[in-house]
Amino acid sequence: MRSVLRMQQACKRKVWTQVSIALMAALWMVNAQAELLIKVTEGRVDAVPIAVVPFDGAQNAPEDVSQIVQADLHRSGQFKPLPPEDMLSRPRNEQEMIYRDFKVLGTEYVITGSMKAQETGGYEVSYALFDVARQKKLMSETYRPPESQLRDVAHAISDRIYEQLTGIPGAFSTKILYVTHNRHDANPYQLQYADADGHRVTTILRSKEPIMSPTWSPDGRKIAYVSFEDQGRPAIYIHSLATTEREKVSSFSGINGAPDWSPDGQKLALTLSRDGNPEIYMLNLSTKALTRLTNNYGIDTEPRWLPDGEHLVFTSSRSGGPQIYKLNINDKSVRRVSFQGAYNARSDVTPDGRYLVYVHRRNGNFNVGVQDLQRGTFNIVTRTDMDESPSVAPNGSMVIYGTQHGGTGVLEAVSIDGRVKVELPSKEGEVREPAWSPFL
């Protein structure tokens, strides 16, 4: 929808959908497939030095949990892992811990652990976290997963350590939903999701026609998205990840776009042009009752629920150009909330409701901006020039978004304060429309 908003002064309502389809198709120019590659391009200068000692027994396991934990913590940008080859000792447990070996290297925390194969199958995975300055064990745990869940255990350990040291829940066990395109495939458009580190890609849907605006249900068990598979006309579907069953929930004449789940999972906010103009509606998923929430001559689109379940933010051209507005779903009152510049669109909200993240145009470039709704401040947190579709991590620490590298669509992530930047290019081709899952 963002491409349409750029042209909204020139476009008539009747050609909105045609322009959207044409611009969407023009964006998909190269192949796309499979796993994302994770590269930390910019971390905090004050990143915490930490050592993840290679786990005892990891060399004989199909997944090295210690390597995954180290990569997770490094990818957060909050920690600076010590390379194993620089370690003066490699303790396997508390009894072997020599604090001075890490203190002289400036390391503040040390993680040790072990992996043991079980006779009944699976593994016993244990770890411990140590504070070097206080020479104290902070925490330790043991897991007994089947072999297939070793990566899950590694991410869970990362989450626990991240929360212990930062006070913020870790999001390493979450998933990322996105759309790829392979023009040589019979069904070139693919809706996929992967672990937050880009591994274990699962394809949800393959289609001959574009797929747009994927979004997670609050419990992470379902997704909603827009598909043009019905003779090129947009419709909104709900897809169960466990059963692969799906349901078409909106296929009105004209636009069916930008679905977003309410915090209780009972409703969808969406954009429809069934009455002529693009407006915001609310669909009750149990009763199928449809409620119109906006009524304006401008283009209203891209609704996003606030955590309280009683308000939405959305993009509207009612002031002449795209800006972000806040809507009370009970009395339908609307007020503008973005004022920096002439173009602000495609918003998302942090889980605590404090920060509004959206695409902002500055000097002809489209960047991700973060607005503090309490203090009223606004900061540009990216330096690329064609950013789109920002999606906030469930712990509110990072934002994933689509951008362009050399004319190819890729994903990147940035911390909410702009101090940490991560690239997530695919191994080959184009990736767009990211959506970060809730906690699973």
Residue 19 host element (H or E): helix 16-27
Q: Decide: helix, strand or coil at residue 177.
A: strand
Q: What pLDDT, on a 0 to 100 scale, did the predictor assign at position 189?
A: 93
State the pairing for strand pair 109-117/323-328: unpaired
Asked whether the predicted pLDDT for residue 22 surpasses 60, the reply is no
pLDDT at 192 > cutoff 50:
yes
Cα torsion through 338, 341, 344, 349, rounded to 10: -40
Confidence of residue 171 (pLDDT cuts 50, 70, 90): very high
- Give per-residue pLDDT as tens, 24-40: 333 332 333 446 766 66
pTM over 0.85: yes
Say if CB 186 and CB 202 are below 8 A apart. no
Q: Above 90 in pLDDT, residue 177?
A: yes
* 48-63 residues labelled b (16+ CB within 10 A) or e (exposed): eebbbbbbbbbeebeb
- Tokens encoding 63: 């997944």
Residue 337 burial class via C-beta count within 10 angstroms: exposed 0-12, middle 13-18, buried 19 and up: middle
Statement: residue 23 has pLDDT above 80 = no
For 345-400, the pLDDT digits (tens) are 999 999 999 999 999 999 999 999 999 999 999 999 998 889 999 999 999 999 99
Q: Cα-flanking dihedrals φ and ψ of residue 152, to 5°?
A: -60, -40
Q: What does DSSP assign to residue 351?
A: T
Cα 132 to Cα 113: distance, rounded to the nearest angstrom: 16
DSSP codes joined into one string, 247-298: EEEE--SS-EEEEEE-TTSSEEEEEE-TTSS-EEEEEETTT--EEE----SS
Task: Report the percent of the chain where pLDDT is more than 90.
Answer: 79
Q: Report d(CA 136, CA 320) in Å as an integer.
A: 60
**Mean pLDDT in the chain?**
89
Contact by Cβ (8 Å): 19, 7: yes
Q: By percentage, how much of the chain surpasses pLDDT 70?
A: 89
**Alpha-carbon separation of residue 131 from 28, 51, 139, 158 (angstroms):** 49, 11, 10, 16
8 confidence band (pLDDT: 50, 70, 90): very low
Model pLDDT for residues 253-312, shown as the tens digit of each residue: 999 999 999 999 999 999 999 999 999 999 999 999 999 999 999 999 999 999 999 999
pLDDT at 18: 33
pLDDT range class, residue 182, cuts 50, 70, 90:
confident
